[in-house]
Chains A and B, each alone.
Chain A
Amino acid sequence: MTITVLSLLAAEVIRLVSLKYQSALQTASWQEALLAAESGIDLGIVELRKSLFPSPNQGWDGWNNTTTENPHIVNHSLSTVVPNTAMTIEVNVDSVDPVSFVDSHNGWQYWRIRTVGTMPINGTATVTDNKQDNRLRKLSLRWERFTGGSLMTRAFRTDEGAHVSRRVEAVVRPVSSFNQAILSVGTIDLTNQNIVVDSYDSSDPTKSTGGLYDVTKRQENGDIATDGNLIEAGNAHIYGDVATNSGTVSGAANVTGTERDDFYQEPIPVGAPTWASFNSSVTNVTGTTTITGNSTSGTSVSRYQLSSINLSGSKTLTLAGNADGSPSYIELYVTGDISFSGTSQLIVKPGVNVKIYFQGNVDVGGNGILNSNNQPSDLQLFGIQPINDTPRHVNLGGNGQIVAAVYAPNHDITINGGGSDGHVFGSVVGSTVTMNGVTNLHYDEKLSSLGMINSYKIVSWFEESR
């Protein structure tokens, strides 16, 4: 009798252990399927970022890419088995809708990424002894559990055994190249000037006055970040976060935000514009010159390709628009250097929105830059990636304030301020960034929705669990 009782007990224990073991295996597969699904989102974002690089960028290579018209919808899909694993990832990236999925403020395309991550289930294809477990995990033991109008349906294939799939839908939005007050690939040096770095939003009357910086409405988004490992903050009063890539921040006693060392954000290099046509009325600037814009952006009449800009003495380059100050646009592509010396000056007239792409070096001295609009978003400077990594620099200075947004991730940027009145309004992105004599840097948060697209950010995430 003893042997019988002990045998029964042993049998029951083995049965229980087997059930729990099987449940543990199924749970593990269920958890790993989510990793697979989220990896699919990463794959989609990687391709979206690759497509931002100058051509050829190999974006979407190996994917099934289709475009339908009326409505115009772009679709990219991929099904892949992760090497050396049994993990399957299916990804679909689409533009959803040609109108409603584009930000009306800046024309940026949002993207929807739908993924299915699938993992096989080891062991016998048996359900667990708890129906709530089954309701949660939806294991596909003998038929596919996600069918009937659910997200990214898939049939139960005859060549696959018991498995579990998890489905995630994410929406990503573009992130601006001007997402921080200062971003550098290498060192940021604020040169011990006790600089004040803060932010305002020229588009929000609660965070600015008349669209201009107001110290009483100071915001704390003056973030500084480097892909390198050193920020010489120089006891700056930084109203924002400070971030390095496994590095250190010296003189950071006055940082209001967080200080982190896990930052890395590869700036997208700027490619040379590939305009089909442009305005050839001005091809080089060596004397006082006026370049006029157009009320419509992106037209050939408002685009100019210049070999260089080299002004000295009291000469000026005026970028003019409509006489009444209504919005107008100018794009300059300078294949050589830009230089202002003596008392020369770059003047941006009211209402003119300027983008300057430059291939060479930039040296702005003299009377510097007069941005009549006092809006950094109206003067955006983009440094084109030099061929063969030739060292390039941008030196901005001159009398008065600097109101501009500079994105030149392959250029060493030095900004020379004007002492106690040395205010810079805008955003600076460079290979290295050095502030000489600048005592105030005010980041305009409006820039975070303008400029180049530098990355993508997940703004919505939903796992289907029905």
Chain B
Amino acid sequence: MKRTSGSTDGFGLAEVMFSTIIFAAISLGLILGFISLERNYAATTDFATNHADEMRISDYLALDLRRAVALQAVHNDTTIFIPRFYASDGSTQTPILDGNGDVYYGDPGSTVRIHYYLSGGTIFRQQDSATPTPLAVNVQDFVFDATDSGKVVSTRITFNPTFVAGRASADATAATAFYNTTLLRNARSDSDVSVY
């Protein structure tokens, strides 16, 4: 009777080790790839979110600057004064001539103070003494400035991108700058210049 080879045949040690190394290498590659993808995704999302925050803050600033009658701007802190268009009951007020060719709402010289500032990683917009409204959160790396040129005010907002490992370089931060130049429509009470 002829004896046949049985199921006890297997891989040799060398084969097992070789295949294990290949599997480990592929797995490591995949894991590194996934980690890289995840980091890239997180960085992209972060950049997109920060960019949206920049746009929102810039649009808020521009909205108030267009109707500004006075302005005080320092680093990460901008105060804009706008006409007191609304009465205390929320209704719109009738404009009143001041006798010198200009117009005011409410009481003479009365304005609404809009304060933009960065505090605790959040940029707030506060109207008079009302509860501050957070415009963007987790933005401790944001820097915003307003440059007063009289008839126009330019704003610049930057953040530190997380694409760069560790601390972002000055160039990388500068590349995130979001600029806006706004023509102040109202004749300014704190300046000699007038728009029209």
Contacts and interface: CB of A to CB of B under 8 A. Distances in A.
B41 A136 contact: no
B192 to A, nearest CB: 11
Interface string A442-465: 000000010000000111111111
A104 B99 contact: yes
Interface stretch (A46-54, A95-103, A345-353): A95-103
Interface string A159-182: 000000000011101000000000
Interface in A1-59: 2, 5, 9, 12-13, 16, 20, 23, 27
B interface, by DSSP: helix, strand, loop or mixed? mixed
A58 to B, nearest CB: 24
A27 B52 CA distance: 11
Interface string B153-196: 00000000000000000000000000000000111000000011
Contacts of A12: 41
A132 interface: yes
Residue among A135, A150, A460, A463 with the highest chain B CB neighbour number at 10 A: A460
A151 interface: yes
B28 to A, nearest CB: 14
A173 B34 contact: no
A149 B87 CA distance: 12
B92 A9 contact: no
B97 A463 contact: no
A466 B67 CA distance: 14
A104 B60 CA distance: 38
B134 interface: yes
Contact of B95 (A112, A151, A463): A112
A9 B86 contact: no
A133 B95 contact: no
Given A5-B34, A13-B41, A171-B103, A101 B56 contact: no
B97 A110 contact: yes
Nearest to B98: A459
B30 interface: yes
B94 A97 contact: yes
B90 A149 contact: yes
Contacts of A5: 34
Interface residues of A, number: 42
A interface, by DSSP: helix, strand, loop or mixed? mixed
Contacts of A326: none
Contacts of B45: 16
Nearest to B187: A459
B82 to A, nearest CB: 7
Given A150-B92, A465-B63, A136 B56 contact: yes
B102 A459 contact: yes
Contacts of A149: 90-92
Contacts of B185: 170, 458, 461
Nearest to B64: A465
Interface in B75-106: 82-83, 85-86, 90-92, 94-97, 99, 101-105
A168 B35 CA distance: 50
B41 to A, nearest CB: 7
A390 interface: no
B48 interface: yes
A130 interface: yes
B87 to A, nearest CB: 11
Interface string B12-46: 00000000000000000010001001000100010
Interface of A: 2, 5, 9, 12-13, 16, 20, 23, 27, 96-97, 100-101, 103-105, 110, 112, 130, 132-133, 135-137, 149-151, 169-171, 173, 449, 457-466
In the complex, the 4 A-B pairs of residues with the closest C-beta atoms, listed nearest first? A461-B185, A460-B103, A171-B103, A457-B196
27 contacts: A5-B34, A12-B41, A23-B52, A27-B59, A100-B94, A100-B96, A101-B95, A101-B97, A110-B97, A130-B52, A132-B134, A133-B56, A150-B92, A171-B103, A173-B101, A173-B103, A449-B101, A458-B195, A459-B101, A459-B187, A460-B83, A460-B105, A461-B66, A462-B105, A464-B85, A464-B92, A466-B90
Interface of B: 30, 34, 37, 41, 45, 48, 52, 55-56, 59-60, 63, 66-67, 82-83, 85-86, 90-92, 94-97, 99, 101-105, 133-136, 185-187, 195-196
